């Protein structure tokens, strides 16, 4: 393969290496994000080795090269991998075929800890040697060792490089910068900068109008592999909080900064970033470096309804595990964002988003009712329905009074949900609501009302149910409603009702009822276990009409199962 192809492949390897280094610094050990980038790095390294053989990178002060072609560079010294290696005397790195994932992980880990090693007796090259990386070879310049490869000026070269780089890092000091700015207005041009002579400074000025090939290449690389300043800002914030003083409750600047970071991660739907920052803040709370509960408050400050809507929408459009990650994230912080979740539930036009929010609110152990009451007055039917579901889950007796009013709501879908809530919450005190709902214009409401009476009603409601059985349009109603009404009539009306329903399924010489109604009547006979109902089912099971015989057999089986359940 051509050298150009090998060079481009090496650039991709270096880009992945830098990403893995950055993630390892940002996320704690074992975090899924850091681990996935290391695995991706191992994959692309093996691919390069398979295609081009051993990879040897020459290490310069601020860049890496392959056979003289630059494949990595970065203007920021602190995160420049080339400088980290160059500073400790590494002049080349060779990776050979057969490299294992653990070797790649050790290499990235050493690079991520390079700055920390400066405070110990180790340096980067020593740390790498101690890892005993079989498939990673280093060429190191050590001015204190004699032998082949040692250069007389090595020590001076390293000392000068490190000194200059440290001066560059220290140049951000405000007082020094202001003093230098004030002096530069009167200073001789030849003294400005890094001690350049007038001749050198003039040369730079003349050439400043054009970019060199190296600068163009570096700019193209940075454009295609941009570093995220937000990640670096997070590192700084975490270092501030990890200081002995920790985070005071009134440290508004840091709190606002953390909220801003979480807001940006929410806007970008960056679950890895959210998980990492929230996990670190939770750890700080346990260590006493942050007030208890502050991480939830900071997240609540960032998590607007629009952002949560976007986050959930993006998760729903991705792999299934993304929805689970978002649900787990929001469940863990639900107490801090109840109002925002409810606002999302009310404002989102996406049914899938609303369903996900409902699942989160249910999984989290319920919502304080004070947050739910305003939603019950919302003009949108689905908002009221969802609020009803959440209120019912609380099983608070206070809910019943509000639900009763909604049994008269203009939208039938809300009336249905209100009846479901009354059935769940007890229903014995709501017999008048169920009885009135039997005359509702909506079939679903009538069906639920009949079921509510079957569960909680008495013989006192039997006449109202009988009126529905005798209604002229009963045969034209949906089968589910017919069966619910007939079953309720059998439960409340005693043997008289059993006999009336028993007559409905029987064939007549003139005017037999439609088959769906006859089948519903047989099924209804199984709703009670009395001598009269059992005798009626025996008769139906031998009527020589296959559909009715099967329906009778199912009714008998259901009745027996119900009896066994009651006995247990």
pLDDT digits (tens, 9 = 90+) for 170-212: 454 444 445 445 444 444 444 344 444 444 444 434 444 455 5
Stretch 329-352: mean pLDDT: 84
**Taking the model in full, what pTM does it have?**
0.53
Q: Positive or negative CA dihedral for 211, 215, 217, 223?
A: negative
Pairwise CA distance, residues 41 & 74, whole Å: 19
Q: Which of 229-243, 319-333, 389-403, 421-435 has the lowest mean pLDDT?
A: 229-243
β-pairing verdict for 63-66 and 136-140:
unpaired
Amino acid 196: pLDDT: 45
Beta carbons within 10 angstroms of residue 165's beta carbon = 18
Structure tokens given for 555: 């009714």
Pairwise CA distance, residues 51 & 41, whole Å: 16
> In whole numbers, what is the pLDDT of the chain averaged over residues?
80
pLDDT digits (tens, 9 = 90+) for 152-175: 454 455 455 545 544 544 454 444
- The alpha-carbon radius of gyration of the chain (Å, integer) is 38
Question: How distant, in Å, are the alpha carbons of 24, 199, 247 from that of 287?
Answer: 22, 58, 11
Pairwise CA distance, residues 16 & 222, whole Å: 13
Question: Considering the domain 386-457 in this protein, what is its CATH number?
Answer: 1.25.10.10
The residue whose two tokens read 């009527």 is 543
Show Cβ contacts of residue 349 under 8 Å, excluding neighbours closer than 6 positions: none
Amino acid 499: pLDDT: 95
Pairwise CA distance, residues 161 & 165, whole Å: 6
> In a 3-state reduction of DSSP, which class is residue 84?
helix
pLDDT digits (tens, 9 = 90+) for 375-428: 888 888 988 988 888 888 877 778 888 889 999 999 999 999 999 999 988 778
Pairwise CA distance, residues 9 & 190, whole Å: 42
Q: Which of 77-81, 313-317, 436-440, 538-542 has the lowest mean pLDDT?
A: 77-81
H-only helix segments in 333-411: 334-347, 351-363, 369-372, 381-394, 398-406
Amino acid 211: pLDDT: 53
Q: Which of 139-153, 179-193, 269-283, 497-511 has the lowest mean pLDDT?
A: 179-193
Stretch 140-145: mean pLDDT: 58
**Environment class of 186 (CB within 10 Å of its CB; exposed 0-12, middle 13-18, buried 19+):** exposed
Query: What is the residue extent of each domain of the chain?
Result: 3-174, 228-302, 386-457, 467-568
pLDDT digits (tens, 9 = 90+) for 475-509: 999 999 999 999 999 999 999 999 999 999 998 87
Pairwise CA distance, residues 449 & 457, whole Å: 10
CA–CA–CA angle 57, 59, 65 (5° rounding): 50
Amino acid 1: pLDDT: 52
Beta carbons within 10 angstroms of residue 152's beta carbon = 7
The residue whose two tokens read 């001066």 is 167
Amino acid 525: pLDDT: 93
Amino acid 220: pLDDT: 54
């Amino acid at each position: 393969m051509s050298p150009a192809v090998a060079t481009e492949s090496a650039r991709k390897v270096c880009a992945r290496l830098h990403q893995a280094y950055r993630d390892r610094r940002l996320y704690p050990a074992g975090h899924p994000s850091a681990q996935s980038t290391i695995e991706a790095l191992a994959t692309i390294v093996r691919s390069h080795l398979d295609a081009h053989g051993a990879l040897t990178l020459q290490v310069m002060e601020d860049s890496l090269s392959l056979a003289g072609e630059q494949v990595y560079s970065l203007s920021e010294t602190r995160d420049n991998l080339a400088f980290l290696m160059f500073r400790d005397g590494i002049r080349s790195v060779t990776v050979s075929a057969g490299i294992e994932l653990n070797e790649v992980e050790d290499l990235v880990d050493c690079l991520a800890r390079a700055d920390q090693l400066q405070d110990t007796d180790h340096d980067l090259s020593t740390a790498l040697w101690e890892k005993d990386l079989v498939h990673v070879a280093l060429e190191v310049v050590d001015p204190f060792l004699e032998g082949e490869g040692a250069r007389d000026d090595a020590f001076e070269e390293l000392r000068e490089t490190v000194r200059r780089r440290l001066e560059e890092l220290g140049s951000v000091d405000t007082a020094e910068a202001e003093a230098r700015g004030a002096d530069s207005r009167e200073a001789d041009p030849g003294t400005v900068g890094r001690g350049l002579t007038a001749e050198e400074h003039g040369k730079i000025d003349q050439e400043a109008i054009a970019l060199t090939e190296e600068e163009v290449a570096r700019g193209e690389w940075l454009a295609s592999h941009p570093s995220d300043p937000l990640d670096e800002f997070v590192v700084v914030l975490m270092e501030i909080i990890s200081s002995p003083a920790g985070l005071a409750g009134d440290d508004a600047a840091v709190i606002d900064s953390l909220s801003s970071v979480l807001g940006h991660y929410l806007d970008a739907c960056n679950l890895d970033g959210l998980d990492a920052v929230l996990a670190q803040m939770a750890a700080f709370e346990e260590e006493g470096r942050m007030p208890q509960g502050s991480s939830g408050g900071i997240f609540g400050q960032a998590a607007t309804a629009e952002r949560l809507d976007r986050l959930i929408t993006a998760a729903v459009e991705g792999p299934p595990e993304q929805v689970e990650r978002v649900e787990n994230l929001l469940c863990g912080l639900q107490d801090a964002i109840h109002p925002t979740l409810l606002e999302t539930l009310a404002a989102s036009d996406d049914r899938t988003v609303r369903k996900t929010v409902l699942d989160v609110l249910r999984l989290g152990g319920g919502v304080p009712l004070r947050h739910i009451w305003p939603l019950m007055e919302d003009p949108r039917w689905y908002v009221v329905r969802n609020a009803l579901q959440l209120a019912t889950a609380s099983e608070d007796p206070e809910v019943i009074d509000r639900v009763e009013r909604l049994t008269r709501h203009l939208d039938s879908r809300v009336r249905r949900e209100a009846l479901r809530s009354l059935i769940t919450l007890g229903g014995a005190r709501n017999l008048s609501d169920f009885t009135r709902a039997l005359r509702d214009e909506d079939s679903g409401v009538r069906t639920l009302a009949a079921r509510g009476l079957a569960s909680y009603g008495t013989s006192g409601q039997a006449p109202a149910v009988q009126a529905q059985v005798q209604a002229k349009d009963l045969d034209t109603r949906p089968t589910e409603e017919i069966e619910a009404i007939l079953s309720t009539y059998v439960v409340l009306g005693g043997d008289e009702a059993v006999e009336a329903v028993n007559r409905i399924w029987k064939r007549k010489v003139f005017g037999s009822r439609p088959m769906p109604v006859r089948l519903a009547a047989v099924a209804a006979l199984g709703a009670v276990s009395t001598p009269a109902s059992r005798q009626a089912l025996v008769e139906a099971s031998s009527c020589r009409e296959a559909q009715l015989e099967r329906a009778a057999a199912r009714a008998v089986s259901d009745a027996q199962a119900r009896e066994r359940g009651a006995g247990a």
